[in-house]
């Protein structure tokens, strides 16, 4: 008996991207339909059931503020809830990414500037992991795509703290790495238990950010292609990783969509994590504050100890958001003197910006 075709919908206004996505999905054995605008996409969604939808954020080339892609995601979520959606966009703020993943229930989001064919194929395979897939759909082996973002953020904050991020979802990896890089941290990204354990064995980290579920909650047994085994929802590799991290005495923040009371208590009591954040209620400011506090807890000392009394006064006022002029007026000194103090502070902390200086000091000035 011939299996029913797996239908995929590509919602993209750029012909070049239409061709790229259609080619990849067709090669994977899917039947592809293409919509170049909201109206056409809505017609497809209302008339046919799809197992996968790849959606661009902006569907109007002349309007960079266009967000019709979100309307498409909403339509899919309401009319075809069994369809897995992936947002592929050239524009994605942290707030937008969180909204797409939590409110619109997208499987993940990918940035066009970071697009890799192998990574995309693997993400599609995982999105369809609970769908009967035609045997013509090839199994990717030796994929390096998911490792393509292993060093994202490493260029930012060359003197900052080293943070290990363990997250199997590409969208959340992007969110967390962006926030950490903005804070001046060096970021090492891992998508699996094995990858993360290897990094822990080879490198030293000041902080770890870990998701509890590293396999998208699929079940043990043969995958849709019948070629390999995958894990069950109850087998959370994140806990195994927390045990290793605890032995290394690295403070850990769990950011996870798995958030039952028992699981949260287990993370705190058995693995002594620093904090637990639920993805559904993720907040940028809370995450950044916890990162500062966790790193400071690890060190127990402050980089501010190297500052003179006068430099510390300048730093404290800077941390409160004062401008050079306001600092000068408060301390009754000239703005040039303030600039000299700031230069000395930056040199001692080995940073180049105010925000990086505050981050390097682990938030100490905000509580002193």
The topology under which CATH files domain 303-366 is Arc Repressor Mutant, subunit A (1.10.10)
CB burial of residue 112 (10 Å; 0-12, 13-18, 19+): middle
Q: What is the pLDDT of residue 222?
A: 42
Say if residue 137's pLDDT is above 80: no
Q: What is the pLDDT of residue 226?
A: 44
User: What φ, ψ does residue 73 adopt, rounded to 5°?
Assistant: -60, -40
pTM reported for the whole predicted model: 0.60
The topology under which CATH files domain 7-127 is Rossmann fold (3.40.50)
CB 206 within 8 A of CB 301: no
Q: Which of 107-116, 140-149, 272-281, 300-309 is predicted with the least confidence, judged by mean pLDDT?
A: 140-149
Q: Of 263, 217, 266, whose CA–CA distance to 246 is shortest?
A: 266
Decide if 7-127 and 149-299 have a common fold. yes
Say if residue 157's pLDDT is above 70: no
Residues 62-85 pLDDT 10s: 666 788 999 999 999 999 989 999
Average pLDDT score over residue span 148-162: 47
Query: Packing angle between helix 94-102 and helix 170-182, nearest 10 degrees?
Result: 150
Integer Cα distance of 129 and 123 in angstroms: 10
- Structure tokens belonging to residue 296: 């400071």
Q: What is the CATH number of domain 149-299?
A: 3.40.50.2300
How many CA atoms are closer than 13 Å to the CA of 121, on its beta-carbon side?
20
Residue indicated by tokens 């079940």: 219
CB 196 within 8 A of CB 166: yes
Average pLDDT score over residue span 254-266: 89
Integer Cα distance of 213 and 236 in angstroms: 5
Integer Cα distance of 355 and 362 in angstroms: 11
Q: What is the mean pLDDT of the chain?
A: 80
Helix-then-strand count for the chain, H and E = 14, 12
Higher-scoring residue by pLDDT: 316, 220: 316
Q: What is the pLDDT of residue 98?
A: 84
Residues 26-47 pLDDT 10s: 999 999 999 999 999 999 999 9
DSSP state of 227: S
Q: Is 223 helix (H, G, I), strand (E, B) or coil?
A: coil
- Please calculate the CA angle 343-347-353 and round it to the nearest 5 degrees: 65
What lies within 8 Å, CB to CB, of 241 at 6+ separation is 166, 193, 196, 197, 210, 214
Would you list the domain boundaries of the chain? 7-127, 149-299, 303-366
Say if residue 114's pLDDT is above 60: yes
């Amino acid at each position: 008996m011939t299996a029913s075709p797996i239908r995929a919908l590509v919602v993209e206004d750029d012909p070049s991207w239409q061709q790229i996505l259609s080619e990849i999905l067709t090669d994977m054995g899917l039947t592809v339909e293409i919509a170049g605008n909201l109206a056409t996409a809505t017609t497809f969604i209302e008339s046919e059931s799809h197992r996968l939808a790849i959606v661009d954020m902006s569907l109007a080339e002349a309007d960079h503020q266009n967000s019709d892609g979100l309307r498409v995601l909403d339509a899919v979520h309401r009319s075809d809830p069994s369809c897995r959606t992936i947002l592929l966009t050239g524009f994605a703020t942290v707030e937008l990414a969180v909204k797409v993943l939590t409110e619109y229930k997208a499987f993940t989001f990918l940035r066009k500037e970071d697009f890799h064919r192998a990574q995309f194929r693997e993400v599609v395979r995982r999105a369809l992991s609970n769908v009967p897939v035609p045997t013509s759909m090839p199994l990717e082996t030796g994929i390096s795509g998911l490792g393509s973002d292993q060093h994202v953020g490493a260029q930012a904050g060359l003197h900052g703290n080293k943070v290990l991020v363990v997250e199997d979802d590409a969208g959340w990896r992007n969110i967390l790495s962006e926030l950490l890089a903005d804070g001046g941290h060096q970021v090492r990204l891992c998508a699996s238990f094995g990858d993360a354990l290897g990094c822990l064995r080879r490198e030293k980290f000041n902080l770890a950010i870990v998701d509890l579920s590293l396999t998208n909650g699929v079940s043990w047994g043969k995958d849709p292609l019948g070629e390999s085994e995958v894990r069950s929802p109850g087998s959370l590799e994140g806990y195994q990783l927390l045990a290793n991290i605890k032995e290394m005495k690295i403070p850990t923040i769990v950011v996870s969509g798995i958030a039952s009371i028992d699981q949260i208590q287990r993370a705190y009591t058995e693995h002594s994590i620093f904090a637990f954040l639920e993805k559904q209620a993720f907040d940028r400011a809370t995450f950044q504050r916890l990162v500062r506090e966790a790193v400071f807890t690890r060190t127990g000392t402050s980089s501010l100890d190297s500052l003179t009394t006068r430099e510390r006064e300048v730093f404290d006022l800077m941390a409160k958001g004062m401008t050079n002029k306001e600092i000068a007026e408060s301390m009754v000194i000239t703005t040039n003197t303030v600039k000299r103090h700031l230069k000395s502070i930056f040199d001692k902390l080995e940073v180049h910006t105010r925000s990086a200086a505050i981050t390097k000091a682990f938030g100490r000035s905000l509580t002193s």
